[in-house]
Amino acid sequence: MARKSIVEATSQIMGQKEINHLADDRGPNDLERRIDEQDKTISHLKHDNKTLAKEVSDLIEEKKRMLDNRS
């Protein structure tokens, strides 16, 4: 009797013929996973940086308007 693979056994338990193989089953130290996570972090940081730069610019403009209105 041959041993069942984990996928086959899980599929049988779940009553399915196949399991979605697109599930992220990579371990936490998988290089591609770590690269993907770092790419996401970089993307979020770039977005945050642009947002903060816009806020700073808006505050500088508001300060200029306030100073102009004061005189």
User: Tokens at residue 44, please?
Assistant: 């979020």
Q: What's the whole-number mean pLDDT along residues 16-27?
A: 59
| pLDDT of 24 over the 50 cut | yes
User: Tokens at residue 35, please?
Assistant: 């690269």
CB 17 within 8 A of CB 7: no
For the question of whether the overall pTM of this predicted structure is more than 0.85, the answer is no
Which residue did the predictor score with more confidence, 31 or 3? 31
Band (9; pLDDT cuts 50, 70, 90): low
Band (28; pLDDT cuts 50, 70, 90): confident
Closest CA to 23 of 9, 13, 33, 12: 33
